[in-house]
Amino acid sequence: MNNEFMPNFLLKRAFLTPKRTAIYFHDETLTFQELYDRAYDTAGKLQKLSLRKDQYVGVLLKTHLDTVIILFALQLLGVKAVILNNRLTPTELTWQLTDSKAAFLITETAFSNMGLPKQIIKEELFAVEKEIPVIQEEISLSEVCTIMYTSGTTGNPKGVMQTYGNHWWSAVGSALNLGINDHDCWLCAVPLFHISGYSILMRSVIYGMPIVLHESFHVEKTLKDLTEKKVTIMSVVTTTLTRIVDHLKEESLPNHFRCMLLGGGPAPLPLLEKCVEKNIPVFQSYGMTETASQIVTLSPEYSLSKLGSAGKPLFPAQIKIELEDGQAASKGKPGEIVVKGPNVTKGYLFRPEVTREKIHDGWLYTGDIGYLDDEGFLFVLDRRSDLIISGGENIYPAELEAVLLAHPDIVDAGVTGMEDAKWGHVPAAFIVKKEGSTLSEEELVQFCLDRLAKYKVPKGFYFTKSLPRNAAKKLLRRKLWEWIKEGSDKE
Amino acid sequence: MNNEFMPNFLLKRAFLTPKRTAIYFHDETLTFQELYDRAYDTAGKLQKLSLRKDQYVGVLLKTHLDTVIILFALQLLGVKAVILNNRLTPTELTWQLTDSKAAFLITETAFSNMGLPKQIIKEELFAVEKEIPVIQEEISLSEVCTIMYTSGTTGNPKGVMQTYGNHWWSAVGSALNLGINDHDCWLCAVPLFHISGYSILMRSVIYGMPIVLHESFHVEKTLKDLTEKKVTIMSVVTTTLTRIVDHLKEESLPNHFRCMLLGGGPAPLPLLEKCVEKNIPVFQSYGMTETASQIVTLSPEYSLSKLGSAGKPLFPAQIKIELEDGQAASKGKPGEIVVKGPNVTKGYLFRPEVTREKIHDGWLYTGDIGYLDDEGFLFVLDRRSDLIISGGENIYPAELEAVLLAHPDIVDAGVTGMEDAKWGHVPAAFIVKKEGSTLSEEELVQFCLDRLAKYKVPKGFYFTKSLPRNAAKKLLRRKLWEWIKEGSDKE
């Protein structure tokens, strides 16, 4: 089909507007031509090291200009990037590399001593003599571009396949909602290994728009660059937006700034009220790795009148709410949020059975609960019951429980989220110990730190005699959550 | 494939931004909700008259708000609109209606006495009692939305199939080039039966942008509305742009105006120079019915330095220049212009053999001649040799020759374009009469008027003893053109 094929995004962008600024990183500024030239060189070096089209290759890098160049080099070669969260432990990383059959791992010195297989160290890569790379001048929209892992109720993470088309349509859907202005500039202070960050790179080349890339979020640096780099749009999560708002005091954001794109769960009322007061235009949104970023977005004019709503689905997307019996929910009635659109993943890597379970006829069953109001605005009541969002990172209780249950002294374990002033939510674990065990909280923390990224380690451990389970022995996580709410320690 | 499906464009737009202005027409203003409601009502009436999904239905209407409503009603029903040029003769119209197997013809009183088959008269349609229509809430991008006829070297017009995807990608490609600003408003003073006009309707619903619709081009009305309706973009052809520029005298266009999108062939240097002088931002473009409007566009900053260039292909599109032996032409070397992209037609209605001849592996062979310069800018040297562009209308010599040859007194006929101060070019005919015939120019004009739209009737007739043909007896139209240039009457 004709609709399938398009020029390679960065190649085309460098051809159309070679002299436009592509990226600001610290004191460096690259045009699209310069970005292309560096990605092209790097593609030549990667090819020299035997990377080839259609391979899966792990990428474990900090957010950095080099990372941007490497990610685009992989697109030029037609290599599928398995983009790894750099806060994971060696065990977690190895699992994802094995699962994705990664032919190589591109990483950097800082991460090179974890004993991961088939490493290409960035610092050494750049010193390699390049050869002339075979560039994929044309791409198919249905071809896989990136893999990002996400967990689920089963404990094991699954690789979400994001095609070029998913990224393309996500960028276009966002553009039709936010507009594309001549002077747009997007600040990226979210990780490139998350879809929130990676999608900014794609928008940059598709729109021909500069981005300001920060290695991590710093509130002073953010405010400085919003003014100096004339940033118009920024992606934030609740925790970062809170820090910006708190830091602003009397002054307001510069006039050219037009959009705080807020992801990672609904925002608390006081925060939104403060934003209105300080004239900060907040676009709340709902999305996930499987939708290649936002799929539902709320415009600022509705941020108070539709408080708590995630908005309406972007132009190319559709949404429905389904009851447990498979019927469509009527207006106002909660059910599972089901989404469809060309930005929705075609499935999970090497897991056709999970794909078939989650995606029916193009409709993705998110597991999240919500309802549509009379005007069709989406209200997300609960991210899937097993999901904890902590400072923008997703944490899956089942994954933590599997780790805890591997401890010889633990007979049962249940994990839930608890509220936290700084991170929104953090995980808490309920533990049933073997009779006579002297296992302490300190030992448990260390046990987890050895196996889980630090942000996943439970911030609270509660020893209890039994866990709440239903007749089918299914863990009732919501009950655990109530226990915490009640402030009760069940030991 | 997931990428195939999207919500019906107008339905989705009315859902997303119901209160935004969709269209200004004379003193009427409709929001997207109102436009949807009227299209929905009309769909109910059309369904009552037995229109059904997947039928081909002719549309022969003047440019008018009613036409917009009917065109969207057809999209809601999933009916494929065969959009007819309302300057054609009954013979020409009947040919296209028969060729497209049109189940009905939607027309209006002004055109109802031409004896065309299966008519639904607009004025009667609106009086019909409506029923509840079956709306296509979801559309497939590969589904045919519209058919527009275009002629070729063979004389008979062919129906170009334009899918929803073609229109979508055309709108998106244009947006990525021109941007989408909050306050954009597009003036449509080109016919809705041409892709230049129809594509403005599609951009309106896809962007959520108001349009100002004029029944035809009037320079005073245009200048008035550019200011009063705060128009930012307008589609023009050389003749209309010339009239605007001539009319402007001392004053300049309002500040909010940002783009004259110029189609229908390269612009003459003096016109472009005047536009620069008067600060009129002209975007020259190259496109055709088969590409669902522009596929190559030149930004104003290059309008003089790249004088005569049509620009670079839009983001989703690709272009190459091919020599007669099928090899790619090197930079600067002329050859056939070949284009590819998701906005390119999937082919000609009921003509798989023509489709196979014109489209190879997604690449459309345009028949136009051009070259790419060192920087990749396209220069169109000649629209396909048999094409005459007269005031934005395409005229195909082969079609006129076929009509002339049907006259009993004519043994041979050849048509070419000649320059015309008002229309750019007009057709001229060279005639070889039967020995002893007394056929006069007046008789020939009347003969043509009975069979051809008025704009196609040759403005000059030259009687000659023979026509220039090559060894294979192929007519050398370029030779005719030279004869005219030399001012010689060959009789």
Q: Report the residue of A1, A3, A291 to disrupt the B interface, i.e. the one with the largest count of B CBs within 10 Å.
A: A3
Residue A434's identity, in one-letter code, is K
Q: Which of A5, A203, A315, A339 best tests the B interface by mutation, with the highest count of B CBs <10 A? A: A315
- Closest by CA to B364, choosing from B468, B287, B446, B303, is B287
A positions 141-170 inside 8 Å of B (CB) = 141-142, 165, 169
**Chain A CA closest to residue B6:** A316
pLDDT at B202: 98
What DSSP element (H or E) covers B449? Answer: helix B441-449
From the list B7, B179, B315, the residue facing A318 with the nearest CB is: B7
* Whether A376 and B15 lie within 8 Å, measured CB to CB: yes
Interface of A with B in 215-234 (CB under 8 A): none
Structure confidence at residue B385 (pLDDT): 56
Instruction: Say whether residue B208 is in contact with chain A using an 8 A CB cutoff.
Output: yes
| Mean pLDDT computed over B139-145 | 96
* Tokens (6 digits) for B278: 């008067």
CB contact under 8 A, B176 and A175: yes
pLDDT tens by residue, A423-433: 888 999 999 99
Instruction: Give A64's DSSP letter.
Output: S
Query: Which of the four pLDDT bands, split at 50, 70 and 90, describes residue A385?
Result: low
CA distance B12 to A312: 10
A458 to chain B nearest CA, in Å? 38
pLDDT band at A155 (very low <50, low <70, confident <90, very high): low
For position B490, what pLDDT does the model report?
43
Please give the residue of chain B at the shortest CA–CA distance from A14: B315
Worst-scoring range by mean pLDDT, A17-21, A477-481, B96-100? A477-481
User: Three-class SS of residue B476?
Assistant: coil
A63-114 pLDDT tens trace: 999 999 999 999 999 999 999 999 899 998 999 999 999 999 999 999 999 9
Pick from A6, A179, A340: which is nearest to B316 by CB?
A6
**Quick check: B2 pLDDT over 60?**
no
How far is the alpha carbon of A137 from chain B, nearest alpha carbon, in Å?
10
What does the DSSP 8-state code read for residue B229? T
Place of tokens 């790179």: A201
**Across A458-466, average pLDDT:** 92
Q: Kindly tell me if the per-residue pLDDT of B341 is higher than 60.
A: yes
Per-window interface: B 360-389 vs A, CB < 8 A: 362, 376
Which chain A residues in 295-314 lie under 8 Å from chain B, judged by CB atoms? 312
- Give the model's pLDDT for residue A166: 97
ipTM: 0.85
Q: In this structure, which CATH number among 2.60.40.10, 2.60.120.620, 3.40.50.12780, 3.90.660.10 belongs to the domain A2-380?
A: 3.40.50.12780
- pLDDT (tens digit per residue) in B286-338: 999 999 999 999 987 787 788 778 999 999 999 999 998 889 999 999 899 99
Mean pLDDT of chain B: 91
Distance from CA of B409 to the nearest CA of A (A): 47
Of A50-64, A433-447, B291-305, the range with the highest mean pLDDT is: A50-64
Nearest to B318 among A7, A206, A362 (CB): A7
Residue B134: the pLDDT is 98
Contact between A205 and A243 under an 8 Å Cβ cutoff? The reply is: no
For residue B370 the two structure tokens come to 């051009």
Are the C-beta atoms of B458 and B429 separated by less than 8 Å?
yes
User: Is a pLDDT exceeding 70 seen at residue A176?
Assistant: yes
The token duo for A475 is: 């863990």
Which segments within B277-423 are labelled E, that is strand? Answer: 282-288, 293-298, 309-313, 318-322, 335-340, 347-348, 359-360, 363-372, 378-382, 388-390, 393-395, 410-420
A6 contacts B206? CB cut-off 8 A: no
Please report, rounded to a whole number, the percentage of residues in chain A having pLDDT higher than 90: 72
- Chain B (110-129) residues lying within 8 Å, Cβ to Cβ, of chain A: none
Residues of chain B with C-beta less than 8 angstroms from the C-beta of A233:
none
Tell me the angle at which helices B9-16 and B32-48 cross, rounded to the nearest 10 degrees.
Answer: 140
Report how far residue B173's alpha carbon sits from residue B192's, in angstroms, rounded to the nearest whole number. 20
**For residue A169, which residues of chain B lie inside 8 Å, CB to CB?**
3
**Which are the contacts of A57, defined by CB distance < 8 A and separation ≥ 6?**
A51, A74, A79, A80, A81, A82, A102, A103, A104, A105, A106
Q: Nearest C-alpha of chain A: how many angstroms from B81?
A: 21
Assign B255 a pLDDT band (cuts: 50, 70, 90): very high
Measured in angstroms, the CA of A176 and the nearest CA of chain B are apart by 6
- A12–chain B Cβ distance below 8 A for any pair: yes
Does the CB of B180 have a partner CB in chain A at under 8 Å? yes
Instruction: Provide the pLDDT for residue A276.
Output: 87
- Taking the C-alpha atoms of residue B206 and residue B356, their distance in angstroms, rounded to an integer, is 31
Inter-chain residue contact A5 with B362, CB threshold 8 Å: yes
Tell me what the pLDDT averaged over chain A comes to.
91
pLDDT at B374: 96
**pLDDT the model gives residue B154:** 57
Contact A15 B142 (CB under 8 A): no
Q: Is the dihedral of CA A290, A295, A300, A303 positive or negative?
A: negative
Which pLDDT score is estimated for B198? 98
Which residues in chain A touch residue B169, judged by CB atoms under 8 angstroms apart?
Answer: 3
Q: Which of A343-352, A470-479, B212-221 has the lowest mean pLDDT?
A: A470-479
Q: Which own/partner pairs from B408-413 qualify as long-range (CB within 8 Å, at least 24 positions apart)? A: B408/B434, B409/B433, B409/B434, B409/B437, B409/B439, B410/B434, B410/B439, B412/B466, B412/B467, B413/B467
List the structure tokens of A356. 């078939």
* Contact (CB<8Å) A341/B15: no
List the single residue in B4, B16, B362 with the smallest CB-CB distance to A2: B362
- Better pLDDT: A137 or A299: A137
d(CA B288, CA B383): 10
Instruction: Decide if A341 and B169 are in contact by the 8 Å CB cutoff.
Output: no
What's residue A185's pLDDT? 98
Question: Per the CB < 8 Å rule, is B180 touching A180?
Answer: yes
Asked if A172 is an interface residue toward chain B (Cβ–Cβ < 8 A), one would say yes
pLDDT value of position A251: 82
In the A/B pair of chains, how many CB contacts fall below 8 A? Answer: 91
What is the nearest CA distance from A1 to chain B, expressed in angstroms? 8
In whole angstroms, what is the distance from residue A220 CA to residue A214 CA?
12
Q: Are A130 and A72 in contact (CB under 8 A)?
A: no
- The alpha carbons of chain B give a radius of gyration, in whole angstroms, of 23
Quick: pLDDT tens for A249-306.
878 899 999 999 998 766 777 888 889 889 999 999 999 999 999 999 998 778 778 8
The torsion defined by the Cα of B113, B115, B118 and B121, in degrees rounded to 10, comes to 0
Contact A274, A248 (CB under 8 A): no
Supply the pLDDT for residue A269: 78
**Topology, domain B388-485:** GMP Synthetase; Chain A, domain 3 (3.30.300)
Over the stretch B39-82, which tens digit does the pLDDT of each residue have? 999 999 999 999 999 999 999 999 999 999 999 999 999 999 99
Which pLDDT belongs to residue A5? 93
Radius of gyration of chain A (CA): 23
Mutation target to probe the A interface, by most A beta carbons within 10 A, among B315, B319, B346, B377 is: B315
The CA distance from B1 to the nearest CA of chain A, in Å, is: 8
Q: Which residues of B fall within a CB distance of 8 Å from A141? A: 3
- pLDDT of the residue at B349: 98
Residue A472: the pLDDT is 59
Q: Please give the share of chain A, as a percent, with pLDDT higher than 70.
A: 95
Kindly state the average pLDDT of the residues B91-109.
96
Where exactly are the structural domains of chain A? Answer: 2-380, 388-485
pLDDT tens digit string along B392-440? Answer: 888 888 788 888 988 989 988 899 988 888 888 899 999 999 899 999 9
Among the partner residues A3, A172, A346, nearest to B142 by beta-carbon distance: A3
Sign of CA dihedral B313, B316, B317, B318: positive
* Phi and psi angles of residue B246, each rounded to the nearest 5 degrees, phi first: -65, -35
Question: Using the beta-carbon criterion (under 8 Å), do B5 and A181 form an inter-chain contact?
Answer: no
CB contact under 8 A, A341 and B207: no
Outline where DSSP puts E strands in B26-132.
Answer: 28-31, 56-60, 80-83, 104-107, 119-121
Contacts B180 to A, Cβ<8 Å: 175-176, 179-180
Strands A282-288 and A259-263: parallel
Q: Give B109-147 as a DSSP string.
A: GGGGGG--SSEEEHHHHTTSPP-------EEETTSEEEE
